[in-house]
Structure 1
Amino acid sequence: MIWHKRGRLVLPACALAFALAAGPVAGLADESDHERARQALEAGKVLPLGAVLDIVERDFPGQVVKVEFEEDDDEFIYEIRVLQSGGSILKLKIDARDGTLLGVKGRDIKFKGKP
């Protein structure tokens, strides 16, 4: 188990966290995905996962339970799943270049500071 810096448990994303200490993003589908993510981070095309998790934590209460990094035609997206109180799961799509929220799916979505 790995705890996020603010005390949140990050489960399947733990491999991602280890890789960030050494470089870019891990926990990807295969080695070529990992390499593309590393190159994108080193080239300054994407934010590091830690910065994106700070954005998610600021806006959505809960525990990050899964993180995926996707790249398609030079578009980079972090897909993050958050377990919220009551057991609902949110699926967030975040632009990896600037941290913009592209979409959110889920039931009973809770935002920090809002019902």
Structure 2
Amino acid sequence: MILAVALLSAGGLSAFARDHDDARRAVAAGEIRTLVEILNVVKGKLPGEVVGVKLEREAGAWMYEFRLVDENGRLFVIHVDARTGEVERIKEK
């Protein structure tokens, strides 16, 4: 979580999107939630500490992709719907 907050401070939401303008428009239009809002929704549901975040489009839908490391050192990739905050899938790498 500390890394995610530091990244937010350094560049905000647009630092995580491939197309910064599209991401800004999506937030302004209410199509997606900001990273801060999503982290508040999913904290406690994630199996470890956030070490990376991306915002991308998958099949036309915006998704946050979180990379987490748990207390045993295992890496997980978690996809979260950027509009609803719903955890879509969790995959161990």
Shorter-normalised TM range: 0.7 to 0.9
Question: 1:37 Cα shift?
Answer: 0.6
Report SS of the residue matched to 2:37.
helix
Gaps of 5+ in 1: 1-7, 108-115
- TM-score, normalised by the number of residues in structure 1: 0.68
Report SS of the residue matched to 1:37.
helix
- The structure number with the bigger radius of gyration is 1
Residue 54 of structure 1 is matched in structure 2 by 40
1:34-88 CA-to-partner distances (Å, cap 9, x unmatched) read 1111110001000110111123322124211110101245411101111110101
Percent identity of the aligned residues?
A: 28
Structure with bigger RCO (C-alpha 8 Å, 6+ apart): 2
Gaps of 5+ in 2: none
- TM-score, normalised by the number of residues in structure 2: 0.82
Residue 10 of structure 1 is matched in structure 2 by 3
For 1:1-115, list aligned pairs within 5 A.
Answer: 8-10=1-3, 14-15=6-7, 17-18=8-9, 19-20=11-12, 24-29=13-18, 33-72=19-58, 74-106=60-92
Report how many residues are paired. Answer: 92
Q: Which amino acid in 1 is paired with 2:17?
A: L
Q: What RMSD in Å do the two structures reach over aligned CA positions?
A: 2.1
